[in-house]
């Protein structure tokens, strides 16, 4: 997560950093991006960069997480559920073109960066509303009695990592095919395993 000094910045400066981040990760391979170029494009010094973020991964994951959170909030608003909604809101209805382009870079980041996301603080923060939904369903008696909420929550987060790994290993690059595979898994396997009939 960014340091508090980043959150204390004026909105205009935060916007410059965000714009520079989007631009550089969209146009360059993740491995080729360096702090010097990010700082130069954002109009800040390298020293300032390290006052705001711990490293390149932290910067990338923060802005990726912001987009994912924006999308999940809209999914919840439109369907009353993130996990149990009957329909999926198209990302084009929620995000700007540049946010979508930046979000698509996720499929090309190193696996170590994905691991930091899915097994670290970002995933816990992003998926907290999912935990709330699971608790609501459990309290309403809609989940199987044997369901351990903490375990299911962990399975949900880590399955996303494994699905992306599956896409890479099988060279699945078509966005519609990816979405179909994810939806099938969550509806046919994941939810059927935890919901009462």
pLDDT tens figures, 91-121 = 899 999 999 999 999 999 999 999 999 888 8
H or E element that contains 157: helix 149-169
Phi-psi region of 86 (alpha: psi -120 to 50; beta: other; left: phi over 0): alpha
Output the pLDDT for position 25: 98
The pTM for the full model equals: 0.89
Domain ranges in the chain are 1-54, 55-194
* Tens-place pLDDT, residues 116-163: 998 888 888 888 888 888 888 889 998 898 889 889 888 888 898 999
* Tens-place pLDDT, residues 8-34: 999 999 999 999 999 999 999 999 999
Residue 87: pLDDT over 90: no
Output the pLDDT for position 40: 96
* Tens-place pLDDT, residues 67-81: 999 998 898 888 888
Output the pLDDT for position 23: 97
- Kindly tell me the burial class for residue 52, based on how many C-beta atoms sit within 10 Å of its own C-beta (0-12, 13-18, 19 or more): buried
Output the pLDDT for position 27: 97
* Tens-place pLDDT, residues 169-194: 999 999 889 988 988 888 888 888 88
What's the CATH code, domain 1-54? 1.10.10.60
Angle between helices 35-42 and 56-79 (to 10 degrees): 60
H or E element that contains 9: none
Output the pLDDT for position 170: 95
């Amino acid at each position: 997560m960014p340091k508090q000094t980043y959150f204390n910045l004026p909105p205009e400066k935060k916007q410059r950093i965000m714009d520079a981040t989007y631009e550089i990760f969209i146009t360059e391979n993740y491995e080729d991006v360096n702090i010097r170029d990010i700082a130069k494009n954002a109009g800040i010094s390298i020293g300032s960069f390290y006052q705001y973020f711990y490293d390149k991964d932290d910067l990338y994951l923060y802005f990726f997480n912001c987009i994912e959170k924006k999308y999940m909030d809209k999914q919840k608003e439109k369907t009353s559920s993130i996990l149990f909604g009957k329909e999926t809101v198209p990302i084009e209805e929620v995000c700007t073109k540049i946010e979508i382009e930046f979000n698509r870079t996720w499929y090309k980041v190193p696996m170590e960066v994905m691991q930091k996301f899915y097994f670290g603080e970002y995933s816990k923060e992003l998926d907290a509303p999912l935990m709330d939904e699971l608790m609501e369903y459990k309290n309403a008696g809609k989940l199987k009695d044997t369901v351990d909420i903490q375990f299911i929550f962990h399975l949900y987060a880590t399955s996303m990592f494994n699905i992306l790994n599956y896409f890479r290993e099988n060279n699945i690059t078509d966005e519609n095919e990816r979405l179909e595979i994810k939806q099938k898994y969550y509806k046919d396997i994941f939810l059927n395993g935890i919901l009462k009939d």
